[in-house]
Structure formats: C-alpha cells, structure tokens
C-alpha cells in the first residue's frame, strides 16, 4: 500500500533559547492510502502539532513531510494553497465553518476558490448524504454542533481530498451526534477509499479507525491495528499513568 502522508524524522520546536519546546521529537510515520488512522496520546503529547505539520499548516524544524505524493517540507505558499484546495480536507473540533455563508455555500467554497464550477446538484446530493437535505440555506449558527460537523464533512466529501485531516471531530458533540459523524467517516473510507488522519482523545472514536498510533512527549510510542475501544482505553491509561 502506498502512503498518502509520510513523515520522516520530523522535529518541531517552538520558541527560542530557554523557552524552546520540542513538540515533535523525531517522528516517522506512514499513513496508508484508503485507511483511517487515529492519533492518540495524553494532552501535550504533540498530537495536534503532528496533524498541523502533516497537513502543511505548520513548517517542520527538521525532517521531511510528503503529502499526496509531493514533498511539502519547504513548499511555497502557492503550492500549499493549491494542495488545500484539491488534496487536503479539514474537520475540526470547533467546526470552522464560515459564519456568513449558508451550509450550501460552505460546502461549495473550496471548489469555488479553486475556480471549479460546482453543480448545485452535487452539493445538494452530498448534503443529503450527510442527512442535511433540509438545511441547505441555514447558516452555521442556526445549526446544532452535530449538524455543523456534518456540513464540514460534506465539504470534505465534495472535494474528495487525498487526505482528510480531523482534529477531535467528535470533541464537542453529544454521543448520538458523535456516532453519526463517525459513521459518516467510516463510510467515506469504506465506500470511496478516503484516507483519514484523525487526532482524538476518545477511545470510542479511535476504535472506529483502522489503526491507532500513540504519541507521548513528541514520540511515537505504540501502535495498534483494528483495536477495540477497551484496548485503546487501556493503552491510553497506561501512557497517562
């Protein structure tokens, strides 16, 4: 299996001098195409930093990052912008929808920014797919958290990114909404071969992934394939303990 995202000896440091913090300390990881990987670890283990670096949102201090077949380690802004339009999708804990746009407009936005004409049918079909056929013209603040997250997922579905990055996608949701969102992500992987890299705290969410990677103090410390929620919780408890 080829990698959608690959990190080689990635180091990320923040600050200078005495205040220097090493958030990632030589991380090497492959995220295989068409699979869903969960990244777990205690608070401050570098999970979010890993995601930001892998998605090209942040520059690494050392090491190399490959994304969708390209070396993005020192890629200029134009290249990264282009990647964000076509190859990368984001789903965040706080949804990150544009407040002034309707659900429909939010979904069509990345393609419009890329200068691609978006058939209305397609946008509506995708919103129907996430169960929001009757919420097309609603603005984010008129939607519940779960609905907002589904809009964000619909946005990722319509662009069909090479990699979908998810940062605590269920972190702000109730358990029913969380299940819906996880079902949608699972379906994307199973039906269209979507690659997902997801950072999470929640063992239940992690158990839906194909593989779980554990991080601690900026290093990869463990790896599980197709684990149960209980196994994940046990490992996590051991790491935190």
Partner 1 sequence: MLSLSWGTLRERRWLFAGAVSAVALGVALVQSSLLTLVATGEPQIPPGTSGREAEQIREGYVGAATLLGMTVLLAAFLAVFIVGSTFAFTVAQRRRDLALLRLAGGSRRQLVVLLLTEALLLGLAGTVLGVLLGVPAMWAQAWLLVRLGFLPGHFTVGWSAGVLPVSAGVGLGVAVCGVLAAALRAARLRPLDAVRDSGAAARVMTAGRWLVGLSCLALAAPLVVAGQSADFLGALLVAMAVSMLGAVAFSMLSPLLVPPAGWVLGSALRRAGVLGELAEANLREGTRRSAATAAPLIVLVALTAGFAGTLDSLAAATGVEIRRLTAGDLVVESTGAQAARLRQIPGVAVASTRLSVEISIRAEHREEGRTWRHTYHSGIVAIDPDAYQRTQRLRPAAGSLDRLRGATVAIGPGLAAEPIRRKVPPVARIGDRRVRLRIVAVMPEVLENGADAFLVPRELIPDELAARSPAETIVQVAPGASVQEVAARIRAADLGTVRTVSEWADARVAAQTRGNRDIMLVLLGMSGLYAAIAVVNALVMAGAERRTEFAVARLTGLSRGQVVRAALVESCAVIAIGLLLGGLVAAAALSGLQVIAVPWTLLFWLAAGAFLVGGATTVLTAWWATRPAPVTLAAARE
User: Using CB under 8 A as the criterion, which residues of the chain lie in contact with partner 1 when the complex forms?
Assistant: 52, 57-58, 77-78, 81-82, 84-86, 90, 92, 94, 96-102, 105, 109-110, 112-114, 139-141, 145, 155, 167
Q: Shortest approach of partner 1 to residue 195 CB, angstroms?
A: 18
Measured from the CB atom, the residue of 94 and 192 that comes closer to partner 1 is: 94
Q: Shortest approach of partner 1 to residue 96 CB, angstroms?
A: 6
Q: Shortest approach of partner 1 to residue 58 CB, angstroms?
A: 6
Measured from the CB atom, the residue of 118 and 232 that comes closer to partner 1 is: 118
Measured from the CB atom, the residue of 99 and 241 that comes closer to partner 1 is: 99
Q: Shortest approach of partner 1 to residue 131 CB, angstroms?
A: 20
CB 150 within 8 A of CB 132: yes
What is the layout of strands, in order, in the sheet containing 62-67? Answer: 21-32, 3-14, 62-67, 70-71
Which two structure tokens, joined as six digits, stand for 231?
């196994």
Q: Shortest approach of partner 1 to residue 125 CB, angstroms?
A: 20
Measured from the CB atom, the residue of 140 and 227 that comes closer to partner 1 is: 140
């Amino acid at each position: 299996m080829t990698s959608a995202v690959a990190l080689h000896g990635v180091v990320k440091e923040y600050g200078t001098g005495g205040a220097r913090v090493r958030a990632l300390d030589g991380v090497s990881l492959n995220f295989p195409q068409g699979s869903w990987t969960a990244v777990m670890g205690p608070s401050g283990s570098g999970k979010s930093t890993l995601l930001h670096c892998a998605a090209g949102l942040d520059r690494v201090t050392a090491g190399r990052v490959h994304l969708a077949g390209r070396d993005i380690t020192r890629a200029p802004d134009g290249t990264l912008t282009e990647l964000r339009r076509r190859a990368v999708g984001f789903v965040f804990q706080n949804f990150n929808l544009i407040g002034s746009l309707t659900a429909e407009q939010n979904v069509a936005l990345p393609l419009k920014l890329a200068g691609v004409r978006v058939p209305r049918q397609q946008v509506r079909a995708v919103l129907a797919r996430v169960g929001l056929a009757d919420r097309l013209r609603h603005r984010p603040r008129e939607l519940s958290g779960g609905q907002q997250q589904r809009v964000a997922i619909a946005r990722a579905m319509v662009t069909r990114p090479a990699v979908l990055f998810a940062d605590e996608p269920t972190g702000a949701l109730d358990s029913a909404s969380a299940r819906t969102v996880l079902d949608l992500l699972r379906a994307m992987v199973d039906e269209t071969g979507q690659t997902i890299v997801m950072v999470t705290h929640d063992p239940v969410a992690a158990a839906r992934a194909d593989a779980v990677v554990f991080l601690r103090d900026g290093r990869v410390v463990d790896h599980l394939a197709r684990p149960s929620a209980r196994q994940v919780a046990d490992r996590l408890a051991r790491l935190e303990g």
